[in-house]
Structure 1
Amino acid sequence: MNKPFSKSLADDGSEPIRILVADDHVTVLEGLVAIIGRQPDMSVVAGAVNGREAVDLWRQHRPDVALLDLRMPLLDGVSAIEEICRQDMGARIIILTTFDSDTDISKAIKAGARGYLLKDAPREELLSCIRKVHTGQTSLAPELVTKLAAGLSSIPLTTRERDVLTLLARGLSNKEIGGSLFISETTVKSHLRSIFTKLNVLSRTEAMAAASQRGLVKL
């Protein structure tokens, strides 16, 4: 489905969000293109039917957001994400799939996905996910965070990481956490990166949800 797509400016005069869609089921692909194409603030710039084509079209069009299926021929979604992120660590990619195991979610996130959505999600949830990821946010449905937390490895948090997590749950900023623990803000950020890795999450909000699920904090 390598054909040109185009759209004029959005209703408010701004440039629409440029989106690459990849799915090996042509009916699903065409449906997504139709749904997204009807949005005044979005424009589908290319459609791919396999992972290799998705990477090639991403390189060609450099879309604002890429929406990729997890299971595709020639190159699966995770491998496609890894190839794209090797070219641009800032690439904003969403996985849209029917697979929701903690292993699938974890692999996609570690590869660089900014969002993970199931194909049976409501249309508005899909569109909201695209808009959030476009603005630099992450998007992972609460039920997926719960599933991911349930299948986490048992890598323990250090005492200091637990201290940071506890203060994070109280709503403190990085600077405030550093002041409370008498450590630098840079050190706080280092602890947060480690916490996010161990909890397999992308953001503070997801870290709180995963930590609560594991009984590490009380929200």
Structure 2
Amino acid sequence: MDDLGVAGGPGSSNGAGSAPLRVVVADDADGVRELICLLLDLEPDFTVVGRAANGAEAVDLVAETGPDLVLLDVAMPVLDGIAALPRVRRLAPSARVVIFTGFSAHTVRDEALALGADDVLEKGVGSGPLVARLRAVCQRQAPAG
């Protein structure tokens, strides 16, 4: 069990027989959000537990579901991904948080990492590399603190 009490969480090896990683996906573009959710739900080691169309919904879903991984789009209405990030961090300190952007990752990387993101990915990444990066982020040792 990880420190959220969820087997297969970010601190576990997530080997065979462990529970899938619980994911919240936040993106205001319905098609993008649904494709990411479909892609992750097809993988045995991920399960989508929440879908949000804006940052405020994402924060609420994180509070409700206690996910292992949160994928936040940068540009969303109500509350953008960068503004939602510190709130997500407070609600789920052991969750992995990945900022997903349609802009160059370099434009938001420093700010996102300073606010506690574990990684920043550009939306142009292919489905195979996206899943591989998310797995890698989830397998990293949690920072001390």
Report the Cα offset of residue 101 of structure 1. Answer: 5.4
Report the Cα offset of residue 133 of structure 1. Answer: 1.5
2:119 and 2:15 map into 1 onto residues whose CA distance is 26
Aligned to 1:126, the other structure's residue is in SS state helix
Structure 2 residue 16 is the aligned partner of structure 1 residue 29: no
The answer to whether the 8 A contact 1:11-1:40 is kept is no
Report the Cα offset of residue 87 of structure 1. Answer: 3.0
Q: Any idea what the Cα deviations from partners look like across 1:136-177, whole Å, max 9, x if unmatched?
A: 359xxxxxxxxxxxxxxxxxxxxxxxxxxxxxxxxxxxxxxx
Structure 2 residue 51 is the aligned partner of structure 1 residue 47: yes
Q: Among residues 133, 138, 141, which one is paired with 1:134 in the alignment?
A: 138
CA separation of 1:137/1:60 partners in 2, compared to 1, >3 Å: closer, same or farther? same
Percent identical: 38
CA separation of 1:56/1:109 partners in 2, compared to 1, >3 Å: closer, same or farther? same
Q: Among residues 100, 105, 112, which one is paired with 2:109 in the alignment?
A: 105
- In the alignment of these two chains, the number of paired residues is 129
2:44 and 2:92 map into 1 onto residues whose CA distance is 27
The answer to whether the 8 A contact 1:82-1:112 is kept is yes
Return the letter of the residue paired with 2:40: I
Equivalent residue number for residue 14 of structure 1: 18
Instruction: For 1:88-99, list aligned pairs within 5 A.
Output: 88-99=92-103
Structure with a larger share of its residues in strand: 2
The answer to whether the 8 A contact 2:105-2:120 is kept is no
Give the structure with higher Rg (CA): 1
Instruction: For 1:198-213, list aligned pairs within 5 A.
Output: none
The answer to whether the 8 A contact 1:68-1:93 is kept is yes
Greater relative contact order (CA < 8 Å, ≥ 6 in sequence): 2
Instruction: For 1:138-177, list aligned pairs within 5 A.
Output: none
Return the letter of the residue paired with 2:109: I
Equivalent residue number for residue 114 of structure 1: 118
Report the Cα offset of residue 41 of structure 1. Answer: 1.2
RMSD of aligned C-alpha atoms?
Answer: 1.9
Equivalent residue number for residue 4 of structure 2: none
2:19 and 2:55 map into 1 onto residues whose CA distance is 27
Report the Cα offset of residue 63 of structure 1. Answer: 0.6
Aligned to 2:35, the other structure's residue is in SS state helix
Equivalent residue number for residue 85 of structure 1: 89
Structure with a larger share of its residues in helix: 1
Runs of 5+ unmatched residues, structure 2: 1-13
Structure 2 residue 73 is the aligned partner of structure 1 residue 69: yes
Report the Cα offset of residue 11 of structure 1. Answer: 9.4
Q: Any idea what the Cα deviations from partners look like across 1:9-44, whole Å, max 9, x if unmatched?
A: x99321011111000011111111111110111111
Q: Among residues 38, 57, 60, which one is paired with 2:61 in the alignment?
A: 57
Runs of 5+ unmatched residues, structure 1: 1-9, 139-219
The TM-score with structure 1 as length reference comes to: 0.55
Equivalent residue number for residue 9 of structure 2: none
